Amino acid sequence: MLLDHYIASCLGNAQYYTQSELKVGSVLADKIRGRIQLSEANVQELGFNLFWLSSKLWAGQFLQGSASGTTISLDTTNARQKPGYIGDFHTHPYEKKMGGGAKLPFSNGDLVEYFDKPPLHQPISLHFVASSDQLYLIVFRGTPPAEPDFTVTTPEVVRLNEHMMNNDKLSTAYMKADSLTGMAKWAAMKKAWENHAPQAAAEFAEDTLRMNLDLANHHGYEFYMGSLAGTGEVTLTLQSRYVYCSTVTRVFSTMGEAYEAQRRAGPITLM
Ligand SMILES: [Zn+2]
């Protein structure tokens, strides 16, 4: 289903069934591709706010983050006052900082912001993040609680910090890189990771994804992801549990969760 149709359906019916697949139209998808390509090339976070006007999702003006490449302000405090404001998009450029394996969905800080500052005039909200060739989407099917409950998950930086604390070769190379400026700094940082903790980029991506799934399932919002490769519309697939669905889907979804929990706990005894 096209994302615009999905938003219209959710606004018309608060319990509209969660879709297993959403398609981002080619106009918005190409805007997102343009931003993430530029962002990865310059190692600077880029973004824009999203507005729901005339039954269509529109991108607001382009915003850019700090030169340090690690933060962006999406002017949410002001933007959320506007009647059409429904969410935002920003980038996580890590290809040149850590390597191609670091495809990162929403950070701890992103989620705190989304929970804290939902739209003031729309009952649902949408947040996109693009990283490398991946696109991630969160859909809140109502107003989220004031803050995410991080006790239900493992922080995304646990293994990353362990590498930094327990690997003197990595920390020395990293500190040396950090004293550089411009693109030389990112190149040296990437080299530090690749030489001394080559698995760290993939672990960081895995831990961030896990945190996103745990929080989406705990708080009951929708988390999608898909590939930006190619051109035209982007297909996003549901990763979290259904928030609203038919009774039949619910039964099978619950069975799947029970199976998954059992699988993680140990060997399954077939009866
Ligand atoms: Zn972010």
Tell me which of 245 and 147 has the higher pLDDT: 147
Mean pLDDT of all residues in 50-66: 96
- Structure confidence at residue 25 as a pLDDT band (50, 70, 90): very high
Cβ(84)–Cβ(74) below 8 Å: no
From ligand 1's centre to the CA of 196, what distance in Å? Answer: 26
Average pLDDT score over the chain: 93
Q: How far apart are CA 194 and CA 265, in angstroms?
A: 33
Pairwise CA distance, residues 113 & 25, whole Å: 26
pLDDT attached to residue 271: 44
Separation of CA 207 and ligand 1 centre (Å)? 15
Q: Ligand 1: distance of its center to the CA of 35 in Å?
A: 14
Q: How far is the CA of 84 from the centre of ligand 1 (A)?
A: 22
Give the Å distance between the CA of 129 and the centre of ligand 1: 7
Compute the distance from residue 105 Cα to the ligand 1 centre, in Å: 8
| Residue-level pLDDT at 67 | 82
d(CA 209, CA 239): 10
Q: Let me know: does 265 contact 241? Beta carbons within 8 Å.
A: no
Looking at residue 80, its pLDDT comes to: 97
Read off the pLDDT of each residue in 193-222 and give the average, rounded to a whole number. Answer: 96
Single-letter amino acid, residue 200: A
Q: How confident is the model over 146-157, as a mean pLDDT?
A: 94
Residues 237-251 pLDDT 10s:
999 999 998 877 777
| Of residues 263 and 53, more confidently modeled | 53
- Torsion angles phi and psi, residue 30, rounded to 5: -70, -30
Distance 265 CA to ligand 1 centre (A): 32
| Cα of 47 from ligand 1 centre, angstroms | 10
